[in-house]
Amino acid sequence: MIIVISVIFFFIILRFTVTLFNFLSNPKLHRVAKQYTDKVSILIPARDEADNILTLLQSINNQDYTNYEVIVLDDNSTDQTYKISLAFADKHPQFKIIKGDELPRDWLGKNYACYQLAQQATGNFLLYLDADEKIHNSLINSAVHRMYQRKLGLLSLFANQEMHTAGEKLVVPLMHYILLNLLPLQLVYLVKSAAVAAASGQFMLFDAAQYRQNQWHQQVQDKVVEDVEIMKLVKAAGYNGEALLANNMVSCRMYKNYTQAVSGFSKNFLAAFNYNIFGFLIYLLLIIAGPMIVVMTFDYELIFFMAALIILTRIMISLSAKQNALYNVILHPVQMFSLTLIAFMAVQRHLTKTNVWKGRKI
């Protein structure tokens, strides 16, 4: 039993240390005063995004960077995505809407949409955004500055998450929770090995010349977690890559309720562990069952120490992600239940090959 408790506390302390490093190193995109004029192609793959797309397009139109083009690719939507985007583009000359080609058998939908968008882009930088986001002033200028400052081939940002319902608050904070207590984000840039990689498809800014030379989305045409795979490829090719928090310059409402959030997270959760089910289950045992085992010892000093580490971890991550720390501390046990449910669905869908997103098998 002593060995088990020791392993559990080693894991908890290690995650606390990673969280503390991320909190102190503050891996965020910072606003800059220097103004840039490089042309940026903003590329938006959209499939059944009629409820979201107009918010994103308006936010781009209202932001403060001027030299850009926007290309929206309607990926065979079954709703009014194309009609809404076209009506907006007709009134704004920097915006264009195109129809995507039929999906080839050996491609995943988003990857093929991103590949097609790149063929249409004319900018010095290619910026991929998801259709359910909003962007804010200083984003593009600050991101371009970071590309030049660190000579990046790829800059990826983890957007601030908007959560309006109780169901969203029980699931969506898990994204930053897992990210910021497993990986010191600064190492993505500092360590040149491709093994140290993180990225978010919600914001991917590429050096256009390097992209055209390497066709990154074509190289990951069948990968579910294409963002991380591309970051690995960028670094393996000898380019610099960096992943940062968006610092309130990009926001996103990923899901509208609990059911959507659980289903959406289960789609790619296992892929983040390279589909290693054994390693995935060990992680879950340590993060969920581990604290329960400590509680069952009835050693109040150990329980208090463990609870203090978990609470401080949740506070630091919440502040870094600009989320409500009190909510995340109080809801932590229920969020761990949600994580268990997501894990079960992810493994079940992987083993039965029934993973579907937006009407397509993945």
Domains of the chain by start residue, with CATH: 2-25+259-361 (no CATH), 40-255 (3.90.550.10)
pLDDT digits (tens, 9 = 90+) for 153-194: 999 999 999 999 999 999 999 999 999 998 999 999 999 999
Query: How does residue 355 score in pLDDT terms, banded at 50, 70 and 90?
Result: confident
How sure is the predictor about 4, in pLDDT bands with cuts at 50, 70 and 90?
A: confident
- Give residue 273's pLDDT: 75
- What mean pLDDT is predicted for residues 133-157? 97
The rounded distance, in Å, linking the Cα atoms of 265 and 134 is: 21
pLDDT at 334 over 80: yes
Q: What is the pLDDT of residues 13-40, one digit of tens each?
A: 999 999 999 999 999 999 998 999 999 9
pLDDT digits (tens, 9 = 90+) for 68-90: 999 999 999 999 999 999 999 99
Mean pLDDT across 236-264: 95
State if pTM tops 0.85. Answer: yes
